[in-house]
Structure 1
């Protein structure tokens, strides 16, 4: 005998309907959970070998006297094909001229960069900038040497040496005066990678123009290509600017 309830619907029929609805709900829940579970292959980010970037550096210079300047530094770099900031820096330098041909500037920089998704590096940089400059006829040769101690909280500290040679020459187009330049920079690092020091690992070559717009405003506009067989990304085409405001 089948037990009846109101509306002539049997308990068996109600139970069967509830089981069907429960089955549908469980199927939907299982599907949602399956789609939301991280897939290792999809979430693993392969560090890119190349990236297109835009760099900007802004310096505010406060003259202390004829031989000494205080330099405030801010840097932002857009990467991942110009889509988002990947490198932000802020710091302070104290520049003093030893003589007309030699300038020394101890500098502190805080750097935060995200070279690719899932990778974040924060570091303090203690930099000694030693720059020599001399002229030959109308050519100006600038030899910049940077000695950087990079301090990281979660990784061993290391030292980087950078040498950059720049040659520029005055030019004019109509009333527009500027200096085209070419520069090359090589890098050496004591950082241990894959069980050995990185050594001479990076080269940057750049071309551009230098322009003194006013007594207080100076700008650089350049194209740079970085070749690096160690870092990721390592090969980076760059369009960049540098602006210097003197108070």
Structure 2
């Protein structure tokens, strides 16, 4: 089962990479991606080793992406989601996001997204692997609504000194597929580290490469995660 999931993931992202390689090159821009997540545990339990885990949790998120010459607010999002941990290999999620963007200067767009999906977890030789599969409906103002399949895979490995975790390097890639046209809408690649600040707070710092119309993005991604209890 684990090998099958990894094989399917590899095929999907090879297809996405090939598809983007066939498009004409786009102008490149540098941007700052910022996200804050507030995580509220609702119900907890214990895993097979007796370790406490969140069985049900709610996440409230805010996203601010800035760029262009005046550091304009290009992409703003507010979201909320529920995560249901089924077992150590699977969790289910459902959520909603409100988005306002101005990726093209002086052209503002608004949309509401509803999504549901599943995340698969496994480990291999010390590497942690997360494979998220999500279906999303996008209600778009003054534009045709979209149904999108979003696939994201992340591989990480904690680095420890004297048994204490120092930080966790990771790479991650996400592709978005328009289910109507069968075309890839974007491809995001991340390479960075996660640093635990304290038992309730962690921060992700990463280089991000986003291939999306009308501009290819190279930038810095900063993500802050805070547990509320």
- TM-score clears 0.5: yes
| TM-score, normalised via structure 1 length | 0.72
Number of aligned positions between the proteins: 192
Alignment-derived partner of residue 242 in structure 1 = 223
1:57-96: CA deviation from partner (whole Å, max 9, x where unpaired): 1111111111111111111001215711111111111111
Change (3 A) 1:239 1:173: farther
Alignment-derived partner of residue 194 in structure 1 = none
Query: Which of 174, 196, 214 is the aligned partner of 1:232?
Result: 214
Query: Which of 28, 44, 64 is the aligned partner of 1:50?
Result: 28
Alignment of 1:173-212 (within 5 A): 177-190=166-179, 197=181, 199-212=183-196
Counterparts of 1:131 and 1:141 in 2: how far apart (Å)?
Answer: 10
Task: Quote the offset at 1:172 in angstroms.
Answer: 4.2
1:6-55: CA deviation from partner (whole Å, max 9, x where unpaired): xxxxxxxxxxxxxxxxxxxxxxxxxxxxxxxxxxxxxxxxxx83321101
1:126-181: CA deviation from partner (whole Å, max 9, x where unpaired): 01142111111211111112211110131110111121111111114797701111
> What are structure 2's unaligned runs of at least 5 residues?
1-25, 45-54
| TM-score, normalised via structure 2 length | 0.78
Change (3 A) 1:147 1:69: same
Alignment-derived partner of residue 40 in structure 1 = none
Task: Quote the offset at 1:120 in angstroms.
Answer: 0.8
Alignment of 1:89-168 (within 5 A): 89-168=77-156
The DSSP-based 3-state class of the residue aligned with 2:43 is: coil
> What are structure 1's unaligned runs of at least 5 residues?
1-47, 192-196
More helix by share: 1
Alignment of 1:74-85 (within 5 A): 74-81=62-69, 83-85=71-73
Task: Quote the offset at 1:111 in angstroms.
Answer: 0.1
Higher relative contact order (CA 8 A, sep 6+): 2
More strand by share: 2
Counterparts of 2:114 and 2:207 in 1: how far apart (Å)?
Answer: 27
CA RMSD of aligned residues (A): 1.9
Contact kept? 1:50, 1:232, Cα under 8 Å = no
Alignment-derived partner of residue 18 in structure 1 = none
Counterparts of 1:81 and 1:223 in 2: how far apart (Å)?
Answer: 20
1:153-210: CA deviation from partner (whole Å, max 9, x where unpaired): 311101111211111111147977011111222221146xxxxx26124222211001
